[in-house]
Structure 1
């Protein structure tokens, strides 16, 4: 399998975005599943506008995709982005964020945005 070389400018932009703890946490939460903005608000204990601003930066860079379902906005990792291999490597090196969503679910706070 041929290794893809990522342009330095794109790699630097991705690493700069993921240098923020909140955005890194968001990416970690999206590792295995899509999430709604309202779930991020609960997990991060941040205001919806603050969470949305971080997600906007990730979306504008192409690192995450958004899907609208009525009033709800769901986010997922953009696995086809050229810097996704960098994100994969980072996700392997940080603690799994899945337990935060599991704890939210156990507490009955996981929102069903259907």
Structure 2
């Protein structure tokens, strides 16, 4: 195996390990179709804000997600320009939609919508 193939395998392994966590994998699926704020993830996953922030930090550290500050809110989205986006997207395409989680937030009035 040449050096380039080995590097690609290591990178794929790192991505799969990161996405092997059900919370991070679900976050990525949600972010595929919706920008989300930390507080929305807290409600969806019923986890503490520090725990959600840790998951997002891991995704942000390897640039799988981007953040954008809007006033007091920080919104996260998938980084579609990531060099491995096609690989990640192919995985996400096989997962069930997560739109129900967003619909439930909206119904409870907990969806952060600020432009």
1:1-114 → structure 2 map (5 Å cutoff)? 7-113=8-114
Structure number with bigger Rg: 2
Residue 104 of structure 1: CA displacement? 1.2
Give the unaligned 5+ runs of structure 1. Answer: none
Residue 68 of structure 1: CA displacement? 1.2
Secondary structure of 1:62's aligned partner = coil
Give the unaligned 5+ runs of structure 2. Answer: none
Across the two proteins, how many residue pairs are aligned to each other?
A: 110
TM-score (norm 2): 0.87
**Which aligned runs of 4 or more in structure 1 are off by greater than 2 angstroms?**
111-114
TM-score (norm 1): 0.88
For structure 1, which segment, 8-17 or 20-29, has the greater mean C-alpha deviation from structure 2 after superposition?
8-17
Residue 92 of structure 1: CA displacement? 1.1
- Alignment partners' CA distance in 2, 1:30 and 1:75: 7
Residue 113 of structure 1: CA displacement? 4.6
Q: Which has the higher helix share?
A: 2
- Alignment partners' CA distance in 2, 1:27 and 1:51: 13
Maintained 8 Å contact 1:36/1:113: no
